[in-house]
Structure formats: C-alpha cells, structure tokens
Structure 1
C-alpha cells in the first residue's frame, strides 16, 4: 500500500492517507483536466503564490489589464440563446472581477456548525485556506478581493489566475484559488476552481447554465469520477498521484443582476443537506 508524505502535520497525513485508500491512482498526462497548483507543507496564503510562481518560473502580476477570473465568458461554450439571455452585468463581473467591491454574509445550518469549527481548528486556521467563518454573519462584511495573474515568462501569457479573498476588517484569508475554464472528459465545459492544500489541492468543477431571468447558475452536482464536482488530488511519498471524487459534497452558485446591482447566493450541501449559504452583494468600484 502507498503512504502519504510522512514529514507533515498528522491531520494532513491522515486526510491524505484516506484519499490514497479510498481514491484512485492516476497519471497526470491521462487527466490534464484535473491538474492544478499544489500547496506546500506550510501556510497557503499570498506568500505561497509568490513561492509557487518562483518555482514554476512565472511572473506575478497584480495590476494586470486582465482583471477577471474568466478572460471571456464566450469560453463557457453556452448556447447562443443562453449567452444572449445572460445578464450583461454578470458577464462584466466575471471578465473584470478586480473592478468590483464584494460584501458577504454567512448562514450556517446549526447541525453542521460543529464540523465547520472542527475543520477550521484542524486545518483552515493553520493553512489559511478555505477558512470559512464559523459564526453566522448577518450584517454584510466587506471582502478584500484581489486578482493575481501568474505570467509565463517565455510566452507572456497568463498561466494561472488566482482570486485571493480576505475579510477587510480582520485580514482573515478565506479563499486563495486558481480560477479558469476546463473541459471534462465528456467534453462538457466547466468553471474550474483549484484551492492549493498541503502536498495537493481541492478542486471544484461547476457546470454553467443560464436561468430564466439571465442569472448564471454554476452547479457541481456530478455523480461519478470525471463529472463536475469536488475532487481531492495529492502526491504520495513516492511522488505518485492520487485523486478522490467526493460526490456527496456539492456547491451551487447563482449570480443575478437587477437594477445594476449584482447579487450571488452560494449554497454548500453534504448528502443533499444544506451545510451553509453565502450571500454576496457585488458593486462596481467608484
């Protein structure tokens, strides 16, 4: 049996060993759609982005002309009818994310709140990643939202776009993820978000559709490996790759616009039970 890298925190080792035992061994060349940045064994924060860029021989560009987590929404490969119906304000937000202010609130399902506290204590607070507040936030908190592009020095093209988000008042980092678009083995186009973790990452693939009122709906409700959904990916002590599809965990994000105001509602579920919901208010910077 293969083993996780030994010289790390015991909780990280146990989690990775679970992925090895319950997941599948893969070869990166056979699964290019699943590959993404791996974290180191230390804190995953803005310093990590600079360390990763240096390791990959990439240039860190904070004030790029490319300010969106998705360069062009045409790349989502929506039908002509869906794209015509998609809110122009939603398109502008994704293509120019850095030009917007974000405020958010959080509502937990009380049944899952203990698990959120446990995950934060064991993992998130230490590594500064997926660090979701464990208290309900009724009044909106301001988010500091930064787009950080990593540029290939040879081609001068963007290789990774990191969306770095932290709470303005406290500086608490919530998410640091590489965003883009990927095609699943089925050919389905998805929004892809990769969150580096120690010696691996967590990746979410979300299928885009457009609602009746022009809202963008991103949904990760896949059923099997190769579908949209949530994946763990890591390297073991022999530098071989393992992945685990978590079909019980799902993420749905609905982004809508009315009277030039953009709102988003993100619901995380486990075993089809609501874990928590984020509510976002998104406004163009003045």
Structure 2
C-alpha cells in the first residue's frame, strides 16, 4: 500500500464510499438470483494486478500470460438474436480474439462541465488506488501506455476472464485493470460483454449489448433500463455471498470499425445521464511497436 493510500483520512474516505453504496444499493445474493453480478474484487491497497491470483483461485484455475491473448477467446460466444459474428468485419474480430497482439493510439476530449469531476475522482481514487484513473491532463500519457491481456482460466483450461491491464509507460502506474467476460442477463436471450473493474471489497461492472452495423462495424452499448438490464453497476461485498448493488446513470458506447484507409478504429463515448462527459478515439494496429516509436503513440487533448 502506498503511503498516501494508507493515510487514515483515505481509509475513512474508502469506508464511507462503501457505506454510501450499501445505503443506496439493493441487497443481493451472489450465489442465488443475482449470480450474474459475480465478478472479481480486490483487497485493501493499490489495485493494479493484485486481484489476478485470487480471481484464478476462485475458479480453481490459473493465470496465463501470452502475447496473443484476446479479450474473448471467440467472438462467436456473443451470437444471439441481436448479433451474428459472421457479419462482423474480420479485422474487428481479430482485435477481440487476439487483443494482446495489437497496439493502440488514443485521443480524448472531456466536456468542460465534467472535466473538474474527472480530476477530483482521478485524484481521490484513481491515482491512489491505480484503478479507474481516467487521464485528465494532456501530459499524463505523453510517454505512452503499456497494455497486457492476462487470461484467467478454470481447472479445465477454459478462459473465465481476460484481465486487461493498462499503465503509464513513464511511471508504471496502472490506469485500468478490468476483467472481461460474456454474461447473459436475466430474462435476456442475447449475451452481453461483461466488464468488471475490481475495487476494495467490491467492484464497478458494465454490461454492454452487442450489435453489428451494415459495414461490419461492432457496436457495444450500455442502456438506460432498470436493474438487471445492460448498464453500469457498483457492487459492495458483505459476508459470504451477500452484497449490495446499485445501478448508476453512466452509459457507454463503443463503435469498432475499419476506416477508409483500412485501419481499425474505435469511437468511445461516456455519458452521465443524457449528458456527454467524455469522448475517446482509438486507432488500433496489428503488431507491437518499439518503445521509441510507442513513446509518442498515445496523445491526449482537451
């Protein structure tokens, strides 16, 4: 744990935050009807990759590092009434199934209204815990971002989660570490992409519904439905399988497409309610670049 993270004031802040979500959330049973909300959590202190071994142990499995690991072992696991993998651009499919073999450049643009809030969250939680640390200053990522996909497999060797670890090259500080999987929500026949960001004694989860555009682009979006539908949730663990979950009015959309030059790109938008808070744009390239070339590959502007 860092000195800053171990300060009594921050421990009180973290405990108070969990108490707030228990108050506004609904009581759930992760071994019962609410098992769709089961996802990795972390212990106290810096998050980073600290949760990987515990996540593997929870499925009696192991952690596997390989440069060709993908967020999903096969995009066809998303096939359903609203999605058919055969319609997806092969380049988009390759990115999801072999994510570790790709390099990403990124640009971001904050809404002036939400930028101060992003800075506050990044300072109080993101930088200290090294999780959900949205880059809010142009120089934060000026030396580039390193990315790694780590497979978490069960005892039979099947991939249960793919951990996507992203950190600043200059400092080694983690920005995000998320567990990616596929989950079919209650009452739905369409599988969704399930992303879990572990936190101390809980997590933030996002469920994204897939669609395919006529040109083969992949659309992933979290909706504005009620509890049990695609969207964003904050979960706090209690004793045993008991927990509390609150649906939050944060909505995301991703569009992965091949541009007119044949390059793979992604438009990512984050909204709070109906107001746009953050826009990101990514360019993805097959293969890893050298450190000198990659040092300027991640650009951020406001």
Q: What TM-score results when the alignment is normalised by the length of structure 1?
A: 0.88
Give the deviation of 1:82 after TM superposition.
4.6
Which shifted more, 39-48 or 196-205? Answer: 39-48
Give the deviation of 1:211 after TM superposition.
1.6
What CA distance in whole angstroms lies between the structure 2 residues aligned with 1:20 and 1:176?
23
Give the paired residue count: 278
What CA distance in whole angstroms lies between the structure 2 residues aligned with 1:73 and 1:263?
18
2:40 maps to what in 1?
Answer: 37
Which shifted more, 137-146 or 87-96? Answer: 137-146
Cα deviation 1:215-257 (Å, max 9, x = unaligned): 11100013210000000111237873110011x2101111111
Q: After TM superposition, list the pairs within 5 Å mapping 1:1-286 onto structure 2.
A: 9-28=11-30, 29-50=32-53, 52-53=55-56, 57-63=60-66, 67-78=69-80, 82-136=84-138, 142-152=144-154, 154-187=155-188, 188-236=190-238, 240-246=242-248, 248-258=249-259, 259-285=261-287
Given that 1:108 and 1:135 are in contact with CA atoms closer than 8 Å, whether structure 2 keeps it comes out as no
1:3 maps to what in 2?
Answer: none
Given that 1:105 and 1:136 are in contact with CA atoms closer than 8 Å, whether structure 2 keeps it comes out as no
CA 1:64 to 1:58, structure 2 compared with 1: closer, same or farther past 3 Å?
A: farther
What CA distance in whole angstroms lies between the structure 1 residues aligned with 2:90 and 2:240?
48
The alignment partner of 1:20 has SS state of: helix
What CA distance in whole angstroms lies between the structure 1 residues aligned with 2:76 and 2:55?
29
What CA distance in whole angstroms lies between the structure 1 residues aligned with 2:133 and 2:44?
17
Q: Mark the runs of 5 or more structure 1 residues left unpaired by the alignment.
A: 1-6
Give the deviation of 1:158 after TM superposition.
2.5
* Structure that is richer in strand per residue: 1
Given that 2:160 and 2:181 are in contact with CA atoms closer than 8 Å, whether structure 1 keeps it comes out as no
Give the deviation of 1:49 after TM superposition.
2.1
The alignment partner of 2:117 has SS state of: helix
The alignment partner of 2:284 has SS state of: strand
What CA distance in whole angstroms lies between the structure 1 residues aligned with 2:199 and 2:82?
38
CA 1:278 to 1:80, structure 2 compared with 1: closer, same or farther past 3 Å?
A: closer
Q: Mark the runs of 5 or more structure 2 residues left unpaired by the alignment.
A: 1-8, 289-302
The alignment partner of 2:135 has SS state of: coil
The alignment partner of 1:119 has SS state of: helix
Given that 2:152 and 2:161 are in contact with CA atoms closer than 8 Å, whether structure 1 keeps it comes out as yes
Q: What TM-score results when the alignment is normalised by the length of structure 2?
A: 0.84
